[in-house]
Amino acid sequence: MRKNAWNTYNETDKKAVFALADDYKNFISNCKTERECVKEAIQIAEANGYKNLETMIKEGTPLKAHDKVYANNMGKTLALFHIGKEPLANGMNILGAHVDSPRLDLKQVPLYEDSELAMLDTHYYGGIKYYQWVTLPLALHGVVIKKDGSSIDVCIGEKEDDPVVGISDLLIHLSHDQMSKNAAKVVEGEDLNVTVGSIPLKDTEKDAVKANILKLLKEQYDFEEEDFLSAEIEVVPAGKARDYGLDRSMVMGYGHDDRICAYTSLRAILEEEDIQRTAVCLLVDKEEVGSIGATGMHSKFFENCVAEVLDRMGVYSELNVRRALKNSNMLSSDVSAAFDPNYAGVMEKNNAAYFGKGIVFNKYTGSRGKSGCNDANAEYLAQLRDIMEKENVCFQTAELGKVDQGGGGTIAYILAQYDMQVIDSGIALHNMHAPWEVASKADIYEATKAYKAFLKHAK
């Protein structure tokens, strides 16, 4: 059995574990969309000396060893580069994670009135159990882009005196039929409609409650019904991340998947100064829906960034781009399933992840005969074991559940197409993809240590 990280901590370590968890709780409490994550990550990066690559390209500023730059892709994906002493063509040490999380998106024509209630229609994003999203306080986060290109930020439901919205569930007294349905049908995807109002606008004949909500949106946010057409508004659990457990050893929050790996990867690249090879942190969008689109990992964004960085260093060539990518190492981080005694049946104990046992390395993911997996090379795992031991990092290895119980995908296989060394790694959770997920503070701490050790030593 792997050791429990809590047993390795002295009082100073424990303080550091709890302090890091506090910073992380703040991050996920404030950042509940991919746009909010990227915006905040840019602010943190700039405060730590990172410059905008776009500006450097425009101004023709050269890049050299020790420089720090970031590239922002449409406000939804971010790449950070800390240029190392070694030539870029020797390869990079890359930390990757995703900043999109399962949620409900407002449809393009979302607002309607039914029986004098104003409702918002949604289309869920990512894999969710519909029934988990009813009777919860929900918040609206997102942007509305007007025809003139101006952008309105929306965030309703997070301040102490903000209203919240929500999705109703059927009272138990009338649930005889509902209770005999299977879990996928108890609440249906199309029925995830958010209640947002019930006061009719005076002297209005048709849809007076809806009219009143539109009036309110116009007054408070200066947008109109048509503007929903060019909006991205996400319905997410309202409220802050909290300490979980009487000993405060865990964090309950929305969007651990995968902001927990994104935040710890970001902290690692900002904190680790002792690097030889160029360090990269990639925070990507769209993982939960297959990594497609301009801001997903399948996009050419990252490859283009590498070309631009080489160009800024005066050594751009097609061959150098290919070499830089091919010679790289990557920790593709995403959350794992932590062993849960309530659901022990889906796990195989020797190859499950556990709370408090550190960062998880998944040699492979995939399902049904490892189908679709990125099976990391034994040679690469051996190097990682050596690095983790060198820096006293607690780590564990795991599969996602028993053979033939299911499985999951990540972004690992996409980067592996460049012929680089990639392994799935990350932090184990309870309640993955539920509105409120749970993680261990020790694992957050050990993951950050692991990422720093990787940036420093991997070759």
Summarize as ranges the residues that interact with Mn ion (CB under 5 A): 257-258, 334
Cβ neighbour number for residue 94 with a 10 Å cutoff: 29
Nearer to Mn ion (CB atom), residue 163 or residue 290: 290
Q: What is the nearest approach in angstroms of Mn ion to the Cβ of residue 102?
A: 6
The SS3 call for residue 364 is coil
For residues 370 and 155, what is the distance between their CA atoms, to the nearest angstrom?
Answer: 41
Q: Which residue(s) pair with 281 in the sheet?
A: 80, 95
Rg of the chain on CA atoms, in Å: 23
CA 458 and chain centroid, separation: 24
Nearer to Mn ion (CB atom), residue 144 or residue 434: 434
CA dihedral 343, 347, 351, 352 (to 10 degrees): -30
For residues 118 and 195, what is the distance between their CA atoms, to the nearest angstrom?
Answer: 6
Q: What is the nearest approach in angstroms of Mn ion to the Cβ of residue 38?
A: 16
Nearer to Mn ion (CB atom), residue 424 or residue 446: 424
Q: What is the nearest approach in angstroms of Mn ion to the Cβ of residue 254?
A: 13
Nearer to Mn ion (CB atom), residue 211 or residue 260: 260
Q: What is the nearest approach in angstroms of Mn ion to the Cβ of residue 432?
A: 7
For residues 348 and 383, what is the distance between their CA atoms, to the nearest angstrom?
Answer: 26
Nearer to Mn ion (CB atom), residue 258 or residue 399: 258
- DSSP letter at 250 equals E
CA nearest neighbour of 415 among 256, 291, 264: 291
Q: Token pair for residue 377?
A: 């090379």
For residues 444 and 244, what is the distance between their CA atoms, to the nearest angstrom?
Answer: 14
Is residue 266 within 8 A of residue 283, CB to CB? The reply is: yes
Q: What is the nearest approach in angstroms of Mn ion to the Cβ of residue 335?
A: 5
Q: What is the nearest approach in angstroms of Mn ion to the Cβ of residue 257?
A: 4
Q: Maximum Cα–Cα distance for the chain, whole Å? A: 74
Q: What is the nearest approach in angstroms of Mn ion to the Cβ of residue 433?
A: 6
Nearer to Mn ion (CB atom), residue 56 or residue 444: 444
Nearer to Mn ion (CB atom), residue 310 or residue 450: 450
For residues 143 and 45, what is the distance between their CA atoms, to the nearest angstrom?
Answer: 23
Q: What is the nearest approach in angstroms of Mn ion to the Cβ of residue 36?
A: 17
CA nearest neighbour of 141 among 55, 37, 225: 37
- DSSP letter at 323 equals H
Nearer to Mn ion (CB atom), residue 28 or residue 209: 28
Q: Which amino acid is at 47?
A: A
- DSSP letter at 339 equals P
Nearer to Mn ion (CB atom), residue 213 or residue 260: 260
Q: What is the nearest approach in angstroms of Mn ion to the Cβ of residue 92?
A: 22
Q: Which amino acid is at 173?
A: H
